[in-house]
């Protein structure tokens, strides 16, 4: 028996918001549905990744169940990510199932972060299931460089995916990792291209997550320096938009588009953090940059009830750390890869 057993899920959420000890309300869950991917981006994965055995990864039923318990606890926004979510078999069925929470208003937004390679096949269905916005990661518009950065990817597939998404009425935000050597000079052209097509673009600093072959320090590009450079020829107007995450937004007056900066290394965004992350193995991380972890898969596979799951989630959130501890140089702040945690 837990303190929530007698209370219907909606009432629990309404009367007991998911609060941590710093009075931050958790309303946003990112769920990684797989650690696998059809690309091998140099900053994300090792060339020869060892992927998890299937038995360790949550089944689609377990993913739906745990996500639904979070929604019962007041999570309003959910982002599905990976690895590459669209390579997970049965993924569209999961989206279809979770979309019932959009239909009844419990969930305000269901969204997706994808590399875009399989978007052309799925965009129409994603829109039909109630997704309104998606994030597509793209670091260059040069086919050769794209192939190098992703270790074998085909840019044309991603561009076709973007076309299909826009044609299906999905709002698209491009995520671009800023890499000192590889795409720094191309970034203004990428921004102009995205804005010309009516897409927002967000720049991301490389984060020290997981051991990979390359030394990230020499690819680190400070976004504050980049922002100063862009501001020397564009007018960047601060936007009040705060998503509860590490992104800050400006409007580029000359292009009319929105530009975001995700700077986990150079700015502290933790005080307004509203999010937690669930890995594809059912581990809940309440902070991207700390090693705190709660095993929700064990609760489910040991026969726990939804109330047990809810209690484990509440306990984990009470332990949400005040902030992260990322630093450039030295060992990764956390050993897990971004593809395991979900970006
Ligand atoms: N495969 C999908 C994709 O690429 O959009 C979703 C998962 S991916 C891990 C999510 C985001 O994390 C991508 O935008 C990717 O560029 C970013 N990312 C991966 N590794 C990163 C790192 N070390 N530092 C910063 N961003 C990273
Ligand atoms: Fe795959 Fe996304 Fe990681 Fe690239 S960033 S390897 S597309 S999971």
Write out pLDDT tens, residues 53-100. 999 999 999 999 999 999 999 999 999 999 999 999 999 999 999 999
Q: How far is the CA of 305 from the centre of ligand 1 (A)?
A: 33
Ligand 1 atom index nearest CA of 84 = 1
The total of other beta-carbon atoms located within 10 Å of residue 112's CB is 24
175 lines ligand 1 (CB under 6 A): yes
Q: Give pLDDT, residue 2.
A: 38
Q: Give pLDDT, residue 328.
A: 47
206 lines ligand 1 (CB under 6 A): yes
- Cα 289 from chain centre: 14
Label residue 20 by pLDDT band (50, 70, 90): confident
Mean pLDDT of 310-334: 72
The verdict on pTM exceeding 0.95 is no
81 lines ligand 1 (CB under 6 A): yes
Pocket test for ligand 2, best of 44, 202, 212, 337 (most atoms within 8 A of CB): 44
The two tokens of residue 103 are 């239909």
Query: Which residues lie with the beta carbon below 6 Å from any ligand 2 atom?
Result: 37, 39-41, 44-45, 82-84, 115, 137, 339
Query: Which residue reads 């192939």 in tokens?
Result: 147
Residue 46 reports pLDDT greater than 60: yes
The two tokens of residue 90 are 């049965």
The two tokens of residue 239 are 């936007």
CATH class of the domain whose range is 17-176+270-341: alpha beta
183 lines ligand 1 (CB under 6 A): no
Ligand 2 atom index nearest CA of 115 = 7
Strand order in the sheet with 258-262: 236-238, 247-252, 258-262, 200-205, 171-178, 133-137, 109-114, 77-81, 28-32, 275-278, 283-285, 294-295
DSSP, collapsed to helix, strand or coil, labels residue 193 as helix
Ligand 2 atom index nearest CA of 40 = 6
Query: How far apart, in whole angstroms, are the C-alpha atoms of residue 53 and residue 200?
Result: 37
150 lines ligand 1 (CB under 6 A): no
DSSP state for residue 205 in the 8-state scheme: E
Bridge partners, 29 (sequence order):
78, 276
Residue 268 reports pLDDT greater than 90: no
Mean pLDDT lowest among 32-41, 209-218, 288-297:
209-218
Ligand nearest to the CA of 32: 1
What does the DSSP assignment read for 75-140?
A: --EEEEESS-GGGSTTHHHHHHHHTHHHHTTS-SEEEEEE-STTHHHHHHHHHHTT--EEEEE---
* Ligand 1 atom 17, closest CA: 343
> Between 183 and 292, whose confidence is greater?
183
* Ligand 2 atom 3, closest CA: 44
Q: Give pLDDT, residue 201.
A: 98
Mean pLDDT lowest among 27-31, 146-150, 273-277:
273-277
Cα angle, residue 156 at apex, residues 37 and 182 outer, rounded to 5°? 70
Handedness of CA 261, 265, 268, 274 (dihedral sign): positive
Q: Give pLDDT, residue 319.
A: 82
Q: How far is the CA of 170 from the centre of ligand 2 (A)?
A: 21
Q: Give pLDDT, residue 37.
A: 97
CA dihedral of 138, 222, 262, 118, whole degrees rounded to 10: 10
- The domains of the chain are located at 17-176+270-341
Ligand 2 atom index nearest CA of 150 = 4
Q: Give pLDDT, residue 211.
A: 60
What does the DSSP assignment read for 27-62?
A: -EEEEE--S--S---TTTS-SS--PPPGGGSPPHHH
- Cα 108 from chain centre: 17
Ligand 2 atom index nearest CA of 337 = 3
Query: How far apart, in whole angstroms, are the C-alpha atoms of residue 36 and residue 339?
Result: 8
Contact assessment for residue 72 and residue 18, using Cβ atoms and an 8 Å cutoff = no
Bridge partners, 176 (sequence order):
203
Bridge partners, 259 (sequence order):
201, 250
Q: Give pLDDT, residue 339.
A: 56
Residues 6+ apart with CB under 8 A from 316: 276, 284, 286, 292, 294
Query: Which residue reads 């005040």 in tokens?
Result: 322
> Between 324 and 332, whose confidence is greater?
324
Q: Give pLDDT, residue 274.
A: 84
115 lines ligand 1 (CB under 6 A): yes
Residue 338 reports pLDDT greater than 90: no
Mean pLDDT of 135-155: 98
What does the DSSP assignment read for 241-270?
A: ---SSSEEEEEETTT--EEEEE-TTTS--G
Query: How far apart, in whole angstroms, are the C-alpha atoms of residue 156 and residue 128?
Result: 24
Ligand nearest to the CA of 43: 1
Q: How far is the CA of 158 from the centre of ligand 1 (A)?
A: 15
Count Cα neighbours of 265 within 13 Å in the Cβ-side half-sphere.
Answer: 20
Ligand nearest to the CA of 174: 1
Ligand 1 atom index nearest CA of 207 = 24
Ligand 2 atom index nearest CA of 113 = 2
């Amino acid at each position: 028996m837990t303190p929530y057993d007698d209370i219907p899920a909606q009432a629990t959420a309404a009367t007991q918001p998911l609060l941590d000890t710093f009075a931050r309300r958790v309303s946003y869950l990112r769920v990684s549905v797989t650690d696998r991917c059809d690309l091998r981006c140099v900053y994300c994965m090792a060339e020869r990744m060892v992927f998890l055995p299937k038995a360790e990864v949550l089944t689609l039923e377990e993913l739906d169940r745990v996500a639904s318990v979070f929604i019962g606890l007041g999570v309003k926004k959910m982002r599905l990510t990976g690895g590459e979510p669209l390579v997970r078999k049965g993924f569209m069925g999961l989206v279809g199932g979770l979309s019932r929470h959009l239909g009844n208003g419990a969930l305000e937004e269901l969204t997706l972060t994808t590399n875009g390679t399989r978007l052309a096949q799925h965009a129409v269905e994603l829109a039909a299931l109630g997704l309104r916005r998606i994030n597509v990661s793209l670091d260059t518009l040069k086919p050769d460089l794209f192939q190098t950065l992703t270790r074998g990817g085909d840019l044309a597939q991603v561009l076709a995916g973007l076309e299909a998404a826009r044609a299906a009425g999905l709002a698209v935000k491009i995520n671009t990792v800023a890499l000192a050597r590889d795409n720094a000079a191309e970034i203004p052209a990428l921004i102009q291209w995205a804005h010309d097509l009516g897409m927002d673009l967000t720049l991301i600093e490389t984060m020290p997550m997981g051991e990979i072959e390359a030394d990230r320090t020499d690819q680190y590009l400070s976004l504050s320096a980049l922002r100063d450079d862009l501001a020397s020829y564009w007018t960047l107007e601060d936007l009040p938009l705060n998503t509860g995450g590490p992104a800050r937004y400006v409007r580029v007056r000359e292009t009319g588009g929105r530009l975001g900066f995700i700077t986990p290394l150079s700015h502290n965004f933790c005080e307004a953090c509203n999010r937690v992350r669930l890995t594809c193995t059912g581990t809940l991380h309440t902070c991207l940059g700390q090693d705190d972890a709660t095993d929700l898969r064990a609760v489910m596979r040991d026969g726990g009830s939804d109330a047990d799951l809810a209690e484990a989630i509440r306990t984990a959130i009470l332990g949400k750390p005040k902030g992260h501890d990322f630093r450039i140089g030295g060992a990764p702040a956390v050993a897990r890869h971004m593809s395991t945690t979900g970006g």
